[in-house]
Amino acid sequence: MKETIVLFGAGATGRTSLKYLRSQGIEPVCFADNDERKKQHLQVDGLPVFQPAICTGKFPDATWVACAISLPAATEIRNQLKAMGVKTKPLWEYLPVCHGLPPESVYPDLVNLSGDVETQNEWSGQVVFRRNPDYDRQRPPSDIKDIYFPDFIAHRDDEHFVDCGAADGDTVREFLARWKNWGHITAFEPDPSNFAKLLALSRISEYDNGGGIDCQGLALSDYDGATRFIATGDYSAHLSYDSSGIGSMTAVYKLDSIKLSTPPTYIKMDIEGAELEALWGARQILKEHKPVLAICAYHTSDHLWQIPLLIHAIQPDYKFFFRRYAEGAFELVWYAVPTERVK
């Protein structure tokens, strides 16, 4: 008999879980959601959305999956499920993220690269979690509000912030809230719906300090050309390497090939698994200008260790810091910081 699955949470994480399950030939019976705005929609991605109480009545024997990775929502939903007394399984089993373990040969290198004790603790804690996933025994994550902009990185008044995977401009807005003075912003976002919102943000006069916000609707990788792209209008939009031809074509470039106004001083990448390729496509910038790097490392299992090792191979003059901003093995970020910019 096939397992009856209810996905609790019809947001981006729930939609990603649904997409993965469907790719495995598994169709959940519905979304459950506490959010009144979500429940106003009869369906999300073709799956019905119900109040939790309705779901328990319709599917009393279902397995429930809490589709949230950030606090406090993740804990609140799990506690709600416990109070409901339903059967549950952890989210990591239902996402297309493999929680593989690094080869033992890389352990000494990563220990040597660690810039502080917190990095070593979080790294070792991630290995422990992957060996035996237990959310209740995991150390609390860092505050999600500080993602990409931790307090151990010194600001520059002439900062050229390059946002790779800018989505609707949420990270750009956070940068603007934190930097009193800055030089320039370049933001890359290939999803048309996201890009329209990003472009609207860039035209708000209160954000204009004379440096300007340059928005480019293209993707980044390790070559110049075109590739297929799955546009979703949210944070899950991503490049497609599917030979079946799914997705629309979008321009893709190496960051090294793009004529920027000034050399980047701070680069953030959250590009749904294309981070290694984009870093390789920016290797000349890293070698010559050594910008601060904030690189997501959770979209693919081996990014946990491949990302810091690749950066170190390109530019050895960095200090490395590792932080987790959600439960489990999600919202992992490696920071590569020039010594002179470490507070």
256 or 244: which leads in pLDDT: 256
Q: Is the pLDDT of residue 236 over 70?
A: no
Give ranges for CATH 3.40.50.150 in the chain. 104-341
Question: Alpha-carbon dihedral of residues 207, 169, 165, 336, nearest 10 degrees?
Answer: 60
Could you give the angle at the alpha carbon of 162 between the alpha carbons of 303 and 142, nearest 5°?
50
Q: Is the pLDDT of residue 72 over 80?
A: yes
Looking at the domain covering 5-94, what would its CATH class be?
alpha beta
Tokens of 125: 């804690």
Q: Residue 307 and residue 285: Cα distance in Å, rounded?
A: 16
Q: Is the pLDDT of residue 210 over 60?
A: no
Polymer length in residues for the chain: 343
Encode pLDDT of 266-310 as tens digits.
999 999 889 999 999 999 999 999 999 999 999 888 999 999 999
Q: How many helices (H) and strands (E) does the chain have?
A: 11, 17
Per-residue pLDDT at 241: 56
Give ranges for CATH 3.40.50.720 in the chain. 5-94
List of residues 6+ apart from 281 with CB closer than 8 A: 220, 221, 222, 223, 253, 254, 255, 256, 257
Question: Nearest to residue 291, comparing CAs of 258, 324, 269, 272?
Answer: 269
Question: Nearest to residue 218, comparing CAs of 187, 190, 257, 177?
Answer: 190
| Residue 97 binned pLDDT confidence (cut-offs 50, 70, 90) | low
317 or 136: which leads in pLDDT: 317
Per-residue pLDDT at 133: 82
Encode pLDDT of 7-33 as tens digits.
999 888 888 889 888 888 899 999 999
Q: Is the pLDDT of residue 190 over 80?
A: yes
Per-residue pLDDT at 307: 97
89 or 321: which leads in pLDDT: 321
Tokens 């073709």 label which residue? 46
Tokens 């307090």 label which residue? 151
pTM of the model: 0.84
Q: Residue 181 and residue 179: Cα distance in Å, rounded?
A: 5
Per-residue pLDDT at 99: 72
The arithmetic mean of pLDDT across residues 62-81, rounded, is 89
Superfamily name with CATH number, domain 104-341: Vaccinia Virus protein VP39 (3.40.50.150)
Per-residue pLDDT at 73: 85
* Long-range CB contacts (within 8 A, 24+) of 202-206: 202/169, 202/172
Most confident of the ranges 95-99, 132-136, 216-220, 332-336: 332-336
Alpha helices in the chain (DSSP H): 12-23, 36-39, 52-58, 73-84, 107-113, 117-131, 170-178, 192-202, 275-280, 283-289, 303-314
With beta carbons less than 8 A apart as the criterion, state whether 293 and 267 touch: yes
Least-confidence region, from 15-24, 52-61, 146-155, 244-253:
244-253
Tokens of 316: 């050895």
Indicate the average pLDDT of the chain.
Answer: 88
The arithmetic mean of pLDDT across residues 232-257, rounded, is 70
Characterize the bridge pairing of strands 248-253 and 225-230. Answer: antiparallel
